[in-house]
Structure 1
Amino acid sequence: MLTKHLTPRPKHPTYAGAVAVVLRDGRVAAKVAVGHALRYRSGPVELPAARRVGMRTDSIFDLASLTKVYTAILLLQQVEKGTIDLDAPVTRYLPAFTGKGKSRITVRMLLTHTSGLPVGADVKNVLGTPMVAGAVPGSTFRYSSTGLMVAAELVKKATGTRLDVALRNGITGPLGLATTGFNPLTWLPKAEQAKRLVATDARTSRGLLRGVVHDDVAAKLGGVIGSAGIFGTAHEVAVIGQLLLNGGIYNGKRVLAASTVAEMLTNQNAGLPAIDPDRPKRPSDHGLGVTLRQPWFMGRLSSASTFGHTGFTGTSLLVHPGHRLVLALLTNRAHPNWSWSNPDPMRAEVANVLAEQV
């Protein structure tokens, strides 16, 4: 049933390939790979069949904005240690975070997308990025990649390490996630790169992107930022969902306290309006680094407690606590051209299929 709804659309594809992993009660209930990890070369031009690379269940994707979930976990680890206060102004820790109105922005607002910061950051001065004109901190949900980039700066300041090192020390190392990380060309063996890396764009000024971050801001900043840049497999993304579903523990390794996870998965934006030009009817519901109750990608699995996140490259994580269900759905919808399709209907379609089954 799941494979049927993941069939690639060859003439005008929603994606060239996809992998879905479903966990139920912590066990793998489904693991499906369809289509191609590499189907086009720069142009974009379709490759001959012999030169295409089939998708595998262990293929490694550019997770795009799913990175924000990892950044939030790393920041909340520092909150638990007492090095950062969620309700303190960001300027307490980052004096260079300057600009009109920004002294009122708290750490919590960065994770709930209520800071008033814009989607895109000033690449030359992330901390100096100005707020959206007329925005009032704490008053409105407005999706902001800049906010999570600033959150990553807090992590770096508190840990005294680079973000990729903090990720390894705080999440991937303890959980044994060997194929999750920034800049995979630096750690994935060359023999594996050709088999497992999933391509994104094939029409950008940078040419075919495979193993190189798709996000332009991340690319300009070395591939390591708090809002995008992590690569990983569907199974390892599902582990993050299961970790949070378990209250911060996975395979005996505790990454966050249960009370922290409970706060992370609680709607922080009750009563606030949402501004989202792409999805004008979306709810503002958001926890600390995860989005809640979003039918546009959660379909009929959407509920007040359903949480997850999406990524621009076609990735998504969805967790339904009531059903003890985790869905990691990773596609390369940006291969060869992200403007070919809207991935949201497909995400909702897959969620609806699972809703029927559970």
Structure 2
Amino acid sequence: MADIRGTYDDLLSAVPGKLAALLDAGDVGGSVAVFVDGEPVVDVWGGYADAERTVPWERDTITNVWSVTKTMTALCALILADRGELDLDAPVARYWPEFAAAGKDRVRVRHVLSHTAGLPEWDVPVTLDDFCDWPSATALLAAQASRWVPGTDGGYHSLTQGFILGEVLRRITGRTVGEFFALEVSGPLGADFHIGLSAEHDDRVARVVPPPGKGEDYAASAPGPDAEPASGTGVRVKDGNSVAWRRAQIPAASGFGNARSVALIQSVMACAGAVKGVRLLSEAGAGRAREEQFEGEDRVLGMPMRWGLGYGLFGTTYGWGGWGGSLLMIDPDSRMVVAYVTNQVREPADETRGLDLVMSAYEGLQGLRR
């Protein structure tokens, strides 16, 4: 059996056992954390940080969590809304006047958070260089029209959501998303999560590994009718492993952390706005994430979805996953967060790892609550 390191409550031994099984089945590396009442009851890791399996995954190993990053950017927006600095019902153009071009004066901030703004992709070809060039990426979005009437339909805004929210945050605070996040969220909590990774952390990064039989040109994709982006091929494994990607602030996809840091930060949402004596949101402010904004067939993902404010809604829980397998699940009723972070990409049709780990955590939670 794979060597699993870290700590866990004996009642939740199924969680590290599941991680070991995933590694035994071929996964390269990963980490899992379960927090209850803002405290870790599982904090484990194992495997390797490189495809060659020569560098062990350590306690401080971090990796790209892809779209789990969206939940961090959404948290920043909810914090500003809770402070009264951001009106979720306001047009995006109130804060970013250039965004009103091409009839987008009707796009509200809540539409962006809930993937109903009608801007799931760029209308012109974009490249990794554009993703890494903030003025270029945002100017292109400001100039184009929505593909549908904002607020009337849902379609996953895979990369665009982060740029739109990030520019709104920048206009309000004068800081980039990464700067605001470090100052107001990860810094106060002491969480090892970064949007825009500096060179000093490079040696801790677990590089992304494509699915078995695939190479570094393997790209993200989705099955829905609007999934074939005008911007060309999706982001590739080799893009995520590039220095340019690590340095850039791509607020929907380029966050780097581990399961511990993801679970710690999002415990703020599970615990009514405060964790470890640090209050980031009022109880009402944290609860806004669960306000349903859309329910129906997501035209990009090609599946039924419920979108809240910055998070996907799943029954009484909410959260989101990242391309390749990383997952965040928040259960405010149980004050529990489950986070799974991995460098091993799997084919979407084969992806059940995060859900399996969540179910293992629930089995142990029943014992903790007795």
Report the TM-score range of the alignment, normalised by the length of the smaller protein.
Answer: 0.7 to 0.9
Identify if the C-alpha distance between structure 1 residues 20 and 140 changes in structure 2 by more than 3 Å, giving closer, same or farther. same
Query: 1:264 pairs with 289, 300, 306, which one?
Result: 289
Report the alpha carbon displacement of residue 311 of structure 1 after superposing the two structures with TM: 1.1
RMSD: 3.0
Contact (CA 8 Å) 1:99, 1:128: kept in 2 or not?
A: no
Query: 1:227 pairs with 245, 248, 252, which one?
Result: 252
Query: 2:64 pairs with 56, 62, 65, which one?
Result: 62
Rounded Cα–Cα distance in structure 2 between residues aligned with 1:205 and 1:109: 32
Rounded Cα–Cα distance in structure 1 between residues aligned with 2:43 and 2:178: 28
**Paired residues, number:** 317
Check if 1:80 corresponds to 2:82.
Answer: yes
Contact (CA 8 Å) 1:201, 1:214: kept in 2 or not?
A: no
Tell me what 1:238 maps to.
Answer: 263
Tell me what 1:351 maps to.
Answer: 358
Tell me what 1:166 maps to.
Answer: 180
Report the alpha carbon displacement of residue 98 of structure 1 after superposing the two structures with TM: 4.3
Identify if the C-alpha distance between structure 1 residues 223 and 213 changes in structure 2 by more than 3 Å, giving closer, same or farther. farther
Contact (CA 8 Å) 2:38, 2:276: kept in 1 or not?
A: no
Tell me what 2:337 maps to.
Answer: 326
Report the alpha carbon displacement of residue 113 of structure 1 after superposing the two structures with TM: 0.9
**Aligned with 2:68: secondary structure?**
helix
Rounded Cα–Cα distance in structure 1 between residues aligned with 2:176 and 2:239: 17
Rounded Cα–Cα distance in structure 1 between residues aligned with 2:336 and 2:181: 25
**Aligned with 1:100: secondary structure?**
helix
Cα distance per residue 1:50-107 (max 9 Å; x no partner): xx11223432121211221121122222223333211111112112214434221001
Check if 1:111 corresponds to 2:136.
Answer: no
**Aligned with 2:49: secondary structure?**
strand
Identify if the C-alpha distance between structure 1 residues 219 and 101 changes in structure 2 by more than 3 Å, giving closer, same or farther. farther
Query: 1:315 pairs with 326, 329, 350, which one?
Result: 326
Check if 1:292 corresponds to 2:313.
Answer: yes
Contact (CA 8 Å) 1:213, 1:229: kept in 2 or not?
A: no
Rounded Cα–Cα distance in structure 2 between residues aligned with 1:184 and 1:221: 5
Contact (CA 8 Å) 2:186, 2:265: kept in 1 or not?
A: no
Rounded Cα–Cα distance in structure 2 between residues aligned with 1:356 and 1:205: 38
Tell me what 1:214 maps to.
Answer: 240
Identify if the C-alpha distance between structure 1 residues 343 and 321 changes in structure 2 by more than 3 Å, giving closer, same or farther. farther
Cα distance per residue 1:261-318 (max 9 Å; x no partner): 111222222xx4232454x3433x222111111xxxxxxxxx2x20111111421111
Identify if the C-alpha distance between structure 1 residues 34 and 239 changes in structure 2 by more than 3 Å, giving closer, same or farther. same
**Aligned with 1:28: secondary structure?**
strand
Q: Which amino acid aligns with 2:285?
A: T
**Aligned with 1:200: secondary structure?**
coil
Tell me what 2:205 maps to.
Answer: 197
Contact (CA 8 Å) 2:154, 2:297: kept in 1 or not?
A: yes
**Aligned with 2:98: secondary structure?**
coil
Tell me what 2:43 maps to.
Answer: 31
Report the alpha carbon displacement of residue 353 of structure 1 after superposing the two structures with TM: 2.3
Tell me what 1:306 maps to.
Answer: 317
Report the alpha carbon displacement of residue 182 of structure 1 after superposing the two structures with TM: 2.9
Rounded Cα–Cα distance in structure 1 between residues aligned with 2:308 and 2:241: 24
Identify if the C-alpha distance between structure 1 residues 221 and 117 changes in structure 2 by more than 3 Å, giving closer, same or farther. farther
Cα distance per residue 1:108-136 (max 9 Å; x no partner): 11111111111457533434333564x12
Contact (CA 8 Å) 2:193, 2:256: kept in 1 or not?
A: yes
Rounded Cα–Cα distance in structure 1 between residues aligned with 2:196 and 2:181: 13
**Aligned with 1:184: secondary structure?**
coil
Rounded Cα–Cα distance in structure 2 between residues aligned with 1:213 and 1:169: 27
Cα distance per residue 1:190-224 (max 9 Å; x no partner): xxx54x32111474369xxxxx97189x9479510
Tell me what 2:8 maps to.
Answer: none
Over the matched positions of the two proteins, sequence identity in percent amounts to 26
Rounded Cα–Cα distance in structure 2 between residues aligned with 1:120 and 1:56: 38
Tell me what 1:149 maps to.
Answer: 163
